[in-house]
Structure 1
Amino acid sequence: MENQVMPREQLGVCAEGNLHSVYLMFNANDGVESQLRPCLANIAQYIYELSDQYADTAFNGFIAVGANYWDSLYLSNRPAELKPFPAMTAGNRDAPALEYDLFVHIRCDRFDILHLIANEICQMFEGLVELVDEERGFRFMDNRDLTGFVDGTENPKGRHRQEVALVGDEDKDFKSGSYVHVQKFAHNLSKWHRLPQKKQEDIIGRTKQDNIEYAAADKPLTSHVKRVNLKDLQGNPMEILRQSMPYGTVKEQGLMFISNCRNSDNFEQMLNSMVHGDEHGNHDHLLHFSQALTGASFFAPSLDFIERESH
């Protein structure tokens, strides 16, 4: 008889989309782990409680710990599939690794509230970490990427989001946690906009205006949709939950790509399919117009894990 209570997930992992986001990447100062563990527990709990306080603006968030920092912070045990970002390069396509110790991801439908909370979180961390990178994301038109195409159409819906994104009984200590991969993609929009619309649609594998996926027979092997819709050896779809949003200014803009998954393999296979392509070298032609500037691997543990390890 299973009477275990499910560990509580961090609410931002599977949350539905928002209008705004703030991404904070930190590196920890040397030797602060014993103070950082309770600090992380406080911040994770704070984010959790704010989801109630700011429910009318759909506030949510999560904290994730970097693959390369995990063993310093949590000595007892490590998520089974947590490994450094799988950097790849082929031709002029580059998926570099740029790892961080901690990632705080907060989203909301009001930008001022996010700004306020981001400042609060940085104050709670004071003296323990350094803020290395900060980006602010926004919803563009009706959930479109800055290329003009609808983003995340394939995302799991409803309860299926939890099934895809959260670790289950296969790794009991880390149940309700999630493997997180983050890449900051800068788009070359002037180059992209010079393409005729049909050419853009062939690169994505969908129509632009009404977001209709090409029929299988019409889908170029180099289209983005073809390269990321993978199946495992049993023929099951290898899914991830995308929490991506456009980011940036006129000077530099693109997509903060965020993958949440119950394993780290699905993302790695997708990235490999984009960069290296299939056995005939059919890679993702979207990468001719969008360049990954960063690549980082994290794990977002359950609230219960963070709480339990805080002492």
Structure 2
Amino acid sequence: MTQAQKGICAEPNLHALYLIFNVIDDEEQAIRSKLAYILELFTHFDEEYYEAMVSGIIAIGAHYWHELYPGLIPQALAPFPDMHCEDRNAPVSPGDLFIQIRADRLDVCHALGMEICQLLKPHVDLLEEVRGFRYLDGRELTGFVESVSNPKGMQKFAIAVVDDNDPDFTGGSYVHVQRYQINMQTWQLLHESDQEDIMGCNKSNNLSFDLGELAEYSHAKRSHYSADNLEKIELLRHSMPFGDMSVQGSMFVSCANSPQPFKKMLRSMIFGTEQGMYDKLLDYMTAQTGGAFFAPSVNFIKQQAKS
């Protein structure tokens, strides 16, 4: 039976480590073998530190996929949708490999990350390292819980994992990654009621506003409905906040059985409706990076390591 990577539908954790690499040589067979070994590392750390609930995702960049696995292409594989409108941007950044590590212990994330980096070091440059953390009761740094509408239970698999319609890639997932920076100073100047209007939910109890009460420019409306409001956008979101005392932000990671939901979400947020109602949260958050990846099944990664 085809097995999706555990990290795709795993429950949220307290800590995360996001690693993005560029491959700098043409040793594709070595990379294929080492990606399979990273799966073993995930399993080892999960068993050794079972209380930490370790999980991980290995995903290959849309541009690099053809080099790593020539001749075997997921049906809907596509580059990151580069979108710009006025001062709202979704820039594309380089990245051949994306690895997400999550656990309830920061030291375990760090130790696993060190082993992975050491393993891949001869073949890659580390482009980006971001450490995510659970903030208060699962809120973003805006003060709001944004994962309330995330799918639950088996619905996660239906939304996030490729089914038998693409038999060679059953169990895989289309992964999109963006690092957002938040202008906390400007955001905190807003009255709480204005923040709630922009987010589309109550700040204190996390209750979403009724659909008819949502402003067209609210984040809840523009990130969950298409630009014409006719289609609900369904993604499994893995986002977590990151930052220090100088820079704060959110690492957005989504998984889906197709790249289309993410593309529709981004278009709805950036371009908005025909009346120009874009996602007003983008007045306070700016995307710094963007990458499209595919996370193949455990079976695929292990089989290709032997070929």
Structure 2 match to 1:111: 106
- Checking the alignment, whether the CA contact within 8 Å between 1:68 and 1:99 is kept in structure 2 is no
Take 1:175 and 1:255, find their aligned partners in 2: how far apart are those partners? 30
Residue identity matched to 2:267: N
Deviation, structure 1 residue 224: 0.4
Structure 2 match to 1:64: 59
Take 1:58 and 1:106, find their aligned partners in 2: how far apart are those partners? 11
Deviation, structure 1 residue 232: 11
- Checking the alignment, whether the CA contact within 8 Å between 1:11 and 1:48 is kept in structure 2 is no
**Cα deviation 1:244-303 (Å, max 9, x = unaligned):** 100121211110000100110001000000000012111000000000000000000001
1:161 aligns to 2:177 (yes or no): no
1:244 pairs, out of 239, 256, 261, with 239
Structure 2 match to 1:182: 177
1:218 pairs, out of 206, 213, 217, with 213
Structure 1 match to 2:263: 268
Structure 1 match to 2:186: 191
Take 1:250 and 1:306, find their aligned partners in 2: how far apart are those partners? 39
Take 1:232 and 1:251, find their aligned partners in 2: how far apart are those partners? 34
Take 2:285 and 2:227, find their aligned partners in 1: how far apart are those partners? 27
- Checking the alignment, whether the CA contact within 8 Å between 2:169 and 2:297 is kept in structure 1 is yes
- Checking the alignment, whether the CA contact within 8 Å between 1:64 and 1:180 is kept in structure 2 is yes
Take 2:293 and 2:284, find their aligned partners in 1: how far apart are those partners? 26
1:292 aligns to 2:287 (yes or no): yes
**Cα deviation 1:143-168 (Å, max 9, x = unaligned):** 10000001211100011111111000
- Checking the alignment, whether the CA contact within 8 Å between 1:63 and 1:105 is kept in structure 2 is yes
Residue identity matched to 2:140: D
Structure 1 unaligned residues grouped into runs of 5+: none
SS in 1 for 2:222: helix
Deviation, structure 1 residue 56: 1.1
- Checking the alignment, whether the CA contact within 8 Å between 1:45 and 1:303 is kept in structure 2 is no
- Checking the alignment, whether the CA contact within 8 Å between 2:18 and 2:130 is kept in structure 1 is yes
Take 1:36 and 1:182, find their aligned partners in 2: how far apart are those partners? 21
Alignment of 1:1-311 (within 5 A): 5=1, 7-230=2-225, 237-310=232-305, 311=307
Take 2:70 and 2:32, find their aligned partners in 1: how far apart are those partners? 11
Residue identity matched to 1:292: A
Take 2:71 and 2:45, find their aligned partners in 1: how far apart are those partners? 30
Take 2:279 and 2:207, find their aligned partners in 1: how far apart are those partners? 19
Task: Tell me the percent identity.
Answer: 42
TM-score by length of 1: 0.95
Structure 2 unaligned residues grouped into runs of 5+: none
- Checking the alignment, whether the CA contact within 8 Å between 2:227 and 2:267 is kept in structure 1 is no
**Cα deviation 1:47-92 (Å, max 9, x = unaligned):** 1343233221111101100001000000121111111110111111
Q: Alpha carbon RMSD of aligned pairs, Å?
A: 1.4
TM-score by length of 2: 0.96
Deviation, structure 1 residue 231: 6.3
Deviation, structure 1 residue 126: 2.4
Residue identity matched to 1:63: I
